[in-house]
Chains A and B, each alone.
Chain A
């Protein structure tokens, strides 16, 4: 299924003529694990009060989210080809007004973890058992608000929230270690009072077991640092800064789809 989502991502972005392939491809296995194995959700009733919530904080990875929503039945797969077009429900960045299944309008980085804390606190206030999942990019951990949120999640003991960082090591203009070094990354989260789990973000079993471990943790929030490869699955996009925010040409898209066959 992850391969299928990647194929959708390539076709959608090539058709739209703009978008961010790299960060969708790096997150494809995580999103697949969530939508097909982990989340309790009901595509026929996107507002089901007891659903688990998935919040895509790294809003530029909207294509992989849309692909998962389409494949699980929130809207027809055929609609994916309307990405970024006028009158499409599939906006350039996630928009909760437009798209069934999108929990939060995102695209300005660093806000999703805070929003997810609000959602998780509401579950606690209502004594509801749903769980909240939020996917961050490593780049957006350069935003101060992410660390405000990190402090407060530990302070409020938000343990019904699973945070996943898509640690692909690349942002728009270069490698994160060159642009604004995040290391020692895991120790930072630990110092902020978090339980941390370090995994290969392309290994489905590791993603599943990390999410199970996070669910069992009581009294503190958990972050899964998912080591990923930007552009994963397409040889000429892998670890290639250029494909952070550039659409493939049709010729490139065809090569990519062949590799993902």
Chain B
């Protein structure tokens, strides 16, 4: 599969949006060369504020700008914006339902060598806990561009999680993203893999391997965790009778928890979960970490085999 950077796409998309909408303001906390908001800053210096190493201040400033009619994008690494600024996200953004788009890069363990301090693996649980937030984890650079455009044109708080490394392209260029409508990437009847972000490519890889063993897997890209496309989950549960959820996140509170809530309430079927469990990871190269901490196509394959036995 070809690869591309979701964060580079983000910067380019922002610069495009800036031409169309003069109400867009972008904030960053000293990481614009990494989050790539510098591509916007170059074009629209007056509409860009580098807030320095003041993430909490940045989020509350974003709220003040949004309360005054601006569409505000605020970016830094996922771990700093969500974990450090949770109270500001809660009271300044979520509670008053302001038009602030948090686009965080360097989500998950694929940050790699920088280690646990830089690996946001609880961000989805925290953001999904916030009323009024829409939470999106794009599967590739094409979807990232679509998600950023959707955030700019829909009112309300967003959390979009992007990655540090280049990630495999899973969509054709003509892909059109519909917010809160999951994308069925592959049809299947024996089991369904629900995935988000980098795990979508892994799920497709696992489905190829399983097909050779006569296990026919459906693959759903649940790019929007909140609001959750329950209809697609219920349909998959009814038609395939087993679900595996794969995510680059801790076991609690992320995509797995959210899908399980829907399945137990609306169409109970056996489930398995591929995630980081209840532990921090460590330093290492991205692919090494995915192997060490159980986030490979092989891990998904094993979980599918195990869930199919429970049917």
Chain A residues within CB distance 8 Å of chain B: 49, 95-97, 103-108, 111-112, 114-123, 125-126, 144-145, 148-149, 151-152, 155-156
A126 vs B66: C-alpha distance when bound (angstroms)? 13
| Bound Cα distance A152, B66 (Å) | 18
Q: Using a CB-CB cutoff of 8 Å, which residues 30-60 of chain B contact chain A?
A: 46-47, 49, 51-52, 54, 56-60
Q: Which of these binds chain A: B85-93, B151-159, B191-199, B285-293?
A: B85-93
**A111-B88, A114-B56, A151-B52 given; 12 more Cβ-contact pairs under 8 Å:** A97-B95, A105-B92, A108-B87, A108-B91, A114-B64, A114-B88, A116-B64, A117-B64, A121-B61, A148-B56, A148-B57, A149-B61
Select from chain A the residue with minimum beta-carbon distance to B97: A97
A144 to B51, CA, bound (A): 15
The 5 closest A-B pairs by CB, nearest first: A118-B64, A114-B60, A122-B68, A148-B57, A118-B61
What would be 25 A-B contacts, judged by CB atoms less than 8 Å apart?
A: A49-B69, A95-B95, A97-B95, A105-B95, A106-B91, A108-B90, A111-B91, A112-B60, A115-B64, A115-B67, A116-B64, A117-B57, A118-B63, A121-B61, A121-B64, A122-B65, A122-B68, A122-B69, A126-B68, A148-B54, A148-B56, A149-B61, A152-B51, A152-B54, A156-B49
B70 contacts A by Cβ under 8 Å: yes
Total contacts A to B, CB within 8 angstroms?
102
Name the B residues within 8 Å of A95 (CB-CB): 95-96
Complex CA–CA separation, A145 to B58 (angstroms):
10
Residues of B within 8 A of A120 (CB): 64
Contact A152 B65, CB 8 Å, known A111-B60, A125-B47:
no
- B128 / chain A contacts, CB cutoff of 8 Å: none
**CB neighbours of A112 from chain B (8 A):** 60
Q: Is the CB of A118 within 8 A of B62?
A: yes
- Rounded to whole Å, the gap between the CB of A28 and the closest CB of chain B is 25
CB pair A96–B60 under 8 Å, yes or no, is: no
B25 / chain A contacts, CB cutoff of 8 Å: 121-122, 125
Q: Which residues of chain B have C-beta atoms less than 8 A from A155's C-beta?
A: 52
A-side binding surface: helix, strand, loop or mixed? helix
Question: In the complex, what's the smallest C-beta–C-beta distance from B21 to chain A, in angstroms?
Answer: 13
Say yes or no: A119 contacts B60, CB within 8 Å.
no
Closest chain B residue to A110, Cβ basis: B56
Q: CA of A36 to CA of B63 in the docked complex: distance in angstroms?
A: 27
Residues of A with C-beta under 8 A to B65? 118-119, 121-122
CA distance A151 to B70 in the complex (A): 23
- A144 to chain B: which residues have CB within 8 Å? 56
Q: In the docked arrangement, what's the CA distance between A120 and B67, Å?
A: 11
- Enumerate chain B interface residues (CB-CB to A < 8 A): 25, 46-47, 49, 51-52, 54, 56-70, 87-88, 90-92, 95-97
Distance A151 CA – B63 CA, assembled complex (angstroms): 18
- Please give, as numbers and ranges, the residues of chain B lying within 8 Å of A108 by CB-CB distance: 87, 90-91
| A119 touching B52 in the complex, CB below 8 Å, given contacts A106-B91, A108-B91, A149-B57 | no
A145-B57, A152-B52 known; A118+B46 contact, CB < 8 A: no
Given A119-B65, A123-B68, A125-B46, A105-B91 contact (CB < 8 Å): yes
- Distance from B9 Cβ to chain A, minimum over Cβ atoms (Å): 26
Partner of A115, one of B52, B61, B97: B61
Expressed in whole angstroms, the Cα–Cα distance for A121 and B62 within the complex equals 10
Across-interface contacts of B47 in A (CB, < 8 A): 125
Roughly how many angstroms separate A118 CA and B65 CA in the complex, as a whole number? 4
A117 to chain B, nearest CB (A): 5
CB-contact partner of A125 in B54, B63, B70, B91, under 8 A: B70
A112 to B87, CA, bound (A): 13
| CB proximity of B120 to chain A, nearest CB, Å | 21
CA distance A106 to B95 in the complex (A): 10
- Which of A106, A112, A119, A151: most chain B Cβ within 10 A? A119
Contacts of A118 in B (CB 8 A): 60-68
| Complexed CA–CA distance, A152 and B49 (Å) | 10
Taking the closest CB of chain B, its distance from the CB of A49, in whole angstroms, is: 8
When A97-B97, A121-B61 are in contact, do A115 and B56 touch as well, CB less than 8 Å?
Answer: no
Min CB distance, B73 to chain A, in Å?
13
Tell me which residues across on chain A come within 8 A of B92, comparing CB atoms: 104-105, 111, 114-115
| Choice from A49, A96, A148 contacting B96 with Cβ under 8 Å | A96
B152 CB to closest chain A CB (Å) equals: 17
Q: Chain A: which residue is nearest B57 at the CB level? A: A148
How close is A20's CB to chain B, nearest CB, in angstroms? 18
| Chain A residue at minimal CB-CB distance from B46 | A125
A contact residues around B68 at 8 Å (CB)? 118-119, 122-123, 126
Question: How far is A78 from B212 in the complex, measured between Cα atoms in Å?
Answer: 75
Q: How far is the CB of B23 from chain A (nearest CB, A)?
A: 9
Cβ contacts under 8 Å, B64 to chain A = 104, 114-122
